Amino acid sequence: MRSAEGAPGTVPCLAAGCRPGFEAEAADDLRRAAAAAGLQPGVAAHPVPGLVVVPCAAPAATAVRAALDRARPVFARNPFVGVGPVALDARDAAGRPDRIAPLLAAIEALPAAVHGTAQRAPYVEHPDTNEGKALSPLARGLGARLDAALAAAGRLRADAPRRLHVFLADGTTAYVGTSAAAATPWPLGIPRIRVARGAPSRSAAKLAEAFVVFLGDAVADVLRPGMRAVDLGAAPGGWTWLLAQKGLRVTAVDNGALRGPAAHDPLVTHLRADGLAYRPRRPVDWLVCDIVERPARIAEVVAGWIADGDARYAIFNLKLPMKKRIEEVARCAGIVEDRLARAGVAHDFALRQLYHDREEVTGCLVRHEGAPRGRHGAAVTRPPARARASRTPAGSPPAARGAGAGTTSRRQRRRAR
Ligand SMILES: C[S@@+](CC[C@H](N)C(=O)[O-])C[C@H]1O[C@@H](n2cnc3c(N)ncnc32)[C@H](O)[C@@H]1O
């Protein structure tokens, strides 16, 4: 078989990595993106755990890019459009395995109209499983040799809009394609996070990752010393510790005890209270919430804070059920969007399963800059439809989206609550 894209034995597809066990959810992300791009998605497959592939009609780059942007993936990591499976079982003249030749042939066969004539240096990726991690020495070696061969062919450009991907399903099979480089800033979709030693819980790394993924370069502007934060479900104190490390004053709400440095930090006030009912006397800059509760309940609580102007920025964790996780994520997204739409509050909202997330996803909700705080009396800005429906791309700051126009009255706002 020769595919529409030219590489022998391959078919056009969308492909992505994901957390093992979340293949169905990641496939749903890809199928929605493919459908939105008019690509007639085929039956999704996961050739190995941690890799999803959705065959589709040969794509047009702009349509795919727009679709991935609209149907922003929650579970799929570093989705790309390309071809596969590419067999890496060739031999050179001396009879030694030659994986580079079939990879170069597959890359060469990617149509320029979709993928461009030059791309950023390839990410050579592998599944996030023990078997996949065993491929990382091979991936590194292939990456170096591919870089050299592609550079010699004049195929690499550091500022190209598209990034090359080679995803190794195993040692002899790969999927090859490109992504919009701005949407895939990290190999494997995993940012490097450094959390100082002494963090009171591993979950500090999760919040640190959320800051990088959702806020990108804007983090220094929106997370500043002197800002005020509330941490709902704070104990033992990993998130609180990280916020205090950044110089924020933190009210840590939890009936449980804080442990480690967060317990003695002068910037931290521990409040033993029900985090689902707590509201601050005056608005704060940040709300973070890691309470283990039904996800829909957390979505309601967080959306209420942002709609009422009790916080401007929120990062929160939704613990997913074992079944119907796609439906639950959609339901929570609906709750947030409805609440903010009823309050007429412009916002940016994104949900994503982070690398540090297990059976959960993380949300970032940002009340639009310039939108006065409704619950505390000022006029509320009504967002344009585009802003309401917006999802912030990974790696770009949610706070950077455009402003809305129009106002609602105080009575309307009260009714909306
Ligand atoms: C996953 S832990 C939070 C870990 C924390 N983010 C950290 O970094 O250390 C969940 C916390 O939520 C707290 N919790 C559960 N229900 C709560 C509620 N209704 N109000 C406040 N805290 C609650 C639990 O006591 C527990 O300490």
Residue among 232, 251, 254, 362 whose CB has most ligand 1 atoms within 8 A, to mutate: 254
Work out which ligand 1 atom sits closest to the CA atom of 262. 9
Higher pLDDT, 141 or 411: 141
| CATH 3.30.2130.30 residue window(s) in the chain | 11-189
Question: pLDDT band at 35, cuts 50/70/90?
Answer: confident
CATH dotted code for 11-189: 3.30.2130.30
Measured CA angle at 58 (ends 54, 64), to 5 deg: 70
pLDDT digit string, tens, across residues 99-154: 999 999 999 999 898 899 999 999 999 999 999 999 999 999 999 999 999 999 99
CA–centroid distance, 406 to ligand 1, in Å, is 38
Q: State pLDDT tens for residues 261-271.
A: 899 999 999 99
pLDDT tens by residue, 374-399: 333 333 333 333 333 333 333 333 33
Assigned CATH topology for domain 203-416:
Rossmann fold (3.40.50)
Beta bridge partners of 363: 316, 351
Q: What does the block give as tokens for 395? A: 């790696």
Q: Which residues of 280-296 are buried (b: 16+ CB within 10 A; e: fewer)?
A: eeebbbbbbbbbebebe
76 touches ligand 1 (CB under 6 Å):
no
**For ligand 1, is residue 292 a contact (CB within 6 Å)?**
yes
Is 177 a pocket residue for ligand 1 (Cβ < 6 Å)? no
Any ligand 1 atom below 6 A from CB of 28: no
pLDDT the model gives residue 108: 94
Residues of the chain with CATH 3.40.50.150: 203-416
Q: What's residue 387's pLDDT?
A: 30
Higher pLDDT, 416 or 281: 281
Q: What is the mean pLDDT of residues 358-379?
A: 70
Q: Ligand 1 centre and the CA of 355: distance in Å?
A: 21
Q: In this model, does residue 411 exceed pLDDT 60?
A: no
pLDDT higher than 90, residue 91:
no
CA gap 387, 385 in Å, rounded? 5
pLDDT band for position 258 (50/70/90)?
Answer: very high
Q: What is the pTM of this model?
A: 0.86
Average pLDDT of the residues in 226-251: 97
Catalytic residue among 133, 206, 246, 319: 319
Active site residue 319: yes
Is pLDDT of 161 > 50?
yes
- What mean pLDDT, rounded, does the chain reach? 85
Mean of the pLDDT values across residues 71-90? 91
